[in-house]
Amino acid sequence: MTLTREQCNGLKGYAILLIVIHNYVDHIMGMGCNEMAYSQAATTDFTAMVTTQPSIWHFFSFTGWIGVALFLFVSGYGLMRKYGDGSIDKTSFIHRHVVKLWVLLAPVYVLYVVVQHYWCGEPHNWQSIIAQLTFTINFLSYGDNGFVIEPGVYWFFGAILQFYLIFLFIRKWGASKLLMLMAGAIALNYTFLYLTTDDTMWWFRQNCIGWGAPFLLGLIAAKTPYQPSKSWLWALLPTSLITLYLCMTIKTFIPFTELCTILFFGSLVMLMNFKLINAVGMISASIFVIHPFIRMTLYQALGNTTLSVSAMVAIYLALVMVFSLLHHLFYRKTSSTKPHTGLPE
């Protein structure tokens, strides 16, 4: 299957908007979600909200995490399209991508240390910073979730590096073997979902083994010549949306959530092209790395505000977009080459 650059940017645009809004309102709404471990209480609250008092921000709080699946799908698709057939110097490949991730993170950590630590005098967990900069935070305990988000939700960087290593060994596999591996990844999700504690499930979902299905589906899509017709896509769009809702709210179907996410948004971008969403997708790498800093700062600045949630989200998104554009310009100036980073570029 061939996706155009605009369609890939569209997927990245939807992904980053879902994640950025989710990561801000999740703290305000206090609903919780099923991203890292299944929560019956969060599911009950969400289904009650849908049937009684629908709220757009509660919707993002519970569902926004599915944007991660879109990122991983596009990452797998892009890696296979770019590197699937040619030869690769494995050491050089990993080195260049690690450097790219550091270049993305560098200005954010400067802002974080200067503003939060020295200017605001906030004490911080330096072990967390070191673990994120070395991409090893994925292997640490997550009993205290606050440890993860200081200064940002950058576990994704460690997970994508794990996927890079896996890709180097499976990029020559055929679609049928990759499909079997994807089925194994879904089965592993079932095993952890039913046979482990929530803390163990958190660790599992912070690493590549917990997100294998969307990444592998990206590899398979890049190797598959089939192009769906528009009539098939129009039928898939509502069907996948209904199935996605069921997968997100019924524990038995949770491991299929990421695949239904890709089917819904994939059919959406192939049917409809929104230039604003595509433009957001083009700078989504910068948005991803800058938004945790803006989020943390606004939590402090607006802690006692009487503003509505909608007003706070509007301020948050405006600041995220401004700082992300500046970060994007810096990133392009300091990047002489453009290897696939796993984040949207």
DSSP 225-274: -----HHHHHHHHHHHHHHHHHHHH-GGGGGGHHHHHHHHHHHHHHH---
Read off the amino acid at residue 309: V
Domain boundaries, the chain: 5-334
Check residue 149 and give its pLDDT.
56
Question: Residue 338: is its pLDDT beyond 80?
Answer: no
Q: Specify the 3-state DSSP secondary structure of 100.
A: helix
The answer to whether 244 touches 260, Cβ cutoff 8 Å, is yes
**Count of residues in the chain:** 345
Task: Determine the average pLDDT of the residues in 276-297.
Answer: 93
Burial of 303 (0-12, 13-18, 19+ CB in 10 A): exposed
Task: Determine the average pLDDT of the residues in 110-129.
Answer: 76
Check residue 24 and give its pLDDT.
93
Residues 6 or more apart whose Cβ sits within 8 Å of residue 118: none
> Could you report the per-residue pLDDT of 239-271, keeping only the tens digit for each?
999 999 999 999 999 999 999 999 999 999 999
Check residue 345 and give its pLDDT.
36
Task: Determine the average pLDDT of the residues in 234-239.
Answer: 97
Read off the amino acid at residue 144: D
